[in-house]
């Protein structure tokens, strides 16, 4: 009886330890699709068309915003650990450009090192003029005529 209690205690401690270690392991997720390099190398500039590119490497994840001269294949790998914000560990972009007759004019490859951080949301609105303190805002209307405040 005594041996089974100690065995249970060791098993519980081992299970708890493994559970805690697993909770510290990062969770890696992938989003999007960028074709492998050997598939990208099969595209020949000036020869391949939109149709042949689609057959060779698939449909693009995005196209040009203002014109349809480019196809973009984007793959991102994220790592998230516990309660921390996700971290981008890899990003691959393949950009295929076409001319007016739908022939490939360029194939470009970009990686995480080619990117720039863009602050899309700053939670502040820029204003012009001087900033007022709370006291100046509260006392700012003292001395103004009541008619302008009432709209008369």
Q: Is residue 55 predicted with pLDDT exceeding 90?
A: yes
Cα–Cα distance measured from residue 120 to residue 115, given in angstroms and rounded to the nearest whole number: 14
Cα–Cα distance measured from residue 34 to residue 36, given in angstroms and rounded to the nearest whole number: 7
- Does residue 10 or residue 76 have the better pLDDT? 76
- Does residue 135 or residue 120 have the better pLDDT? 135
Q: Is residue 146 predicted with pLDDT exceeding 60?
A: no
What is residue 56's predicted lDDT score, i.e. its pLDDT? 95
Going by C-alpha positions, the residue among 29, 121, 30 that lies closest to residue 74 is 30
- Output the average pLDDT for the chain: 81
- Does residue 96 or residue 124 have the better pLDDT? 96
Q: Is residue 147 predicted with pLDDT exceeding 70?
A: no
pTM, entire model = 0.61
Q: Is residue 45 predicted with pLDDT exceeding 50?
A: yes
């Amino acid at each position: 009886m005594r041996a089974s209690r100690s065995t249970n205690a060791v098993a519980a401690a081992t299970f708890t330890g493994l559970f805690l270690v697993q909770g510290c392991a990062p969770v890696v997720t992938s989003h999007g699709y960028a074709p492998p390099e050997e598939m990208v190398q099969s595209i020949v500039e000036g020869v391949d068309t939109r149709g042949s590119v689609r057959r060779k490497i698939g449909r693009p994840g995005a196209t040009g915003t203002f014109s349809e001269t480019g196809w973009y294949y984007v793959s991102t790998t994220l790592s998230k650990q516990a309660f921390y914000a996700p971290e981008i560990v890899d990003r691959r972009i393949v950009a295929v450009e076409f001319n007016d007759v739908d022939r490939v004019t360029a194939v470009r490859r970009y990686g995480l090192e080619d990117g720039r951080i863009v602050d899309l949301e700053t939670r502040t609105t820029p204003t012009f003029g001087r900033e007022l303190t709370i006291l100046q805002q509260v006392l700012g209307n003292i001395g103004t005529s009541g008619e302008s405040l009432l709209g008369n």
